[in-house]
Amino acid sequence: MKPYILLVEDEEAIAMMVRYNLESQDFEVEIADDGEKAMLCLGERKPDLIVLDWMLPVLSGVEVCQRVRKSEELAGIPIIMLTARGEEADRIMGLDSGADDYMVKPFSPQELISRIKAVLRRTRPVLTRKTLEYAGINADISSHKVTCNGKNIKLGPTEFGLLIHLMEHPSQVFSRDQLLDSVWGHDVYVENRTVDVHILRLRKALSDAKEGLGNIIQTIRSAGYMLEKKDE
């Protein structure tokens, strides 16, 4: 799955430049142009990382950072702060407010991307992993190739996305709405029953490769789906 970045930046030229470079590196990017909108975005969908400008309308970057760190649900999100402030005291203040890294404007987009990848390697290693393995299933994220005991499993892009998301979070239950947001995308509007259709296709593809393998995708009544091996 693409790492999802919330970019909080009120200077449109910088925001567009950063977004272009991140998307070219296969990141998914959402932009908020003030601190209040950033908090609204965080309430709707949890990003893998926040790129946060210091000087923002309504709520400053430091205030946003502090609110994120005080939130039980959001506290673990890594934050890279962008600012024109280059003095040591300002850098210390930004880091003390909860930022994981700090870049002074003007900055190189390539350096920002390198720092984002470095932070994600530390905090979300699964996002930078090229392969996943679970219950004998091997998934190569870069080539979109899935195998079981050396046998290829043919999956459509949506079924592949579902499988990767579930393999990244084994034993965790996801509602249909959560799967729609994570696999289809936050701004894609389809009925949540669409998830059921693709789960059925994914189960069939897995069971075609190995009898009963599709049963590792369990239906949790009134809750959603999760990936978990059943006791044999």
We report the CATH number of the domain holding residue 15 as: 3.40.50.2300
Looking at the structure, do residues 121 and 136 belong to the same domain, yes or no?
no
**Token pair in block for residue 98:** 């909860």
Contact 75, 32 (CB under 8 A): no
The answer to whether residue 1 scores a pLDDT higher than 70 is no
Ramachandran bin of 3, using left for φ above 0, alpha for ψ from -120 to 50, beta for the remaining angles: beta
Supply the pTM of this predicted model: 0.61
pLDDT tens-digit map of 85-131: 665 666 666 677 778 888 888 888 888 998 888 888 777 766 666 78
What percentage of the chain reaches a pLDDT higher than 70? 89
Looking at the structure, do residues 136 and 120 belong to the same domain, yes or no?
no
Looking at the structure, do residues 10 and 104 belong to the same domain, yes or no?
yes
Per-residue pLDDT, 219: 93
**Token pair in block for residue 156:** 């459509």
Q: Provide the domain count of the chain.
A: 2
Looking at the structure, do residues 51 and 103 belong to the same domain, yes or no?
yes
Which of these three, 59, 94, 126, is where a domain ends? 126
Looking at the structure, do residues 96 and 145 belong to the same domain, yes or no?
no
We report the CATH number of the domain holding residue 141 as: 1.10.10.10
Question: What range does the domain containing 146 cover?
Answer: 131-227
Per-residue pLDDT, 93: 67
Which of these three, 95, 126, 157, is where a domain ends? 126
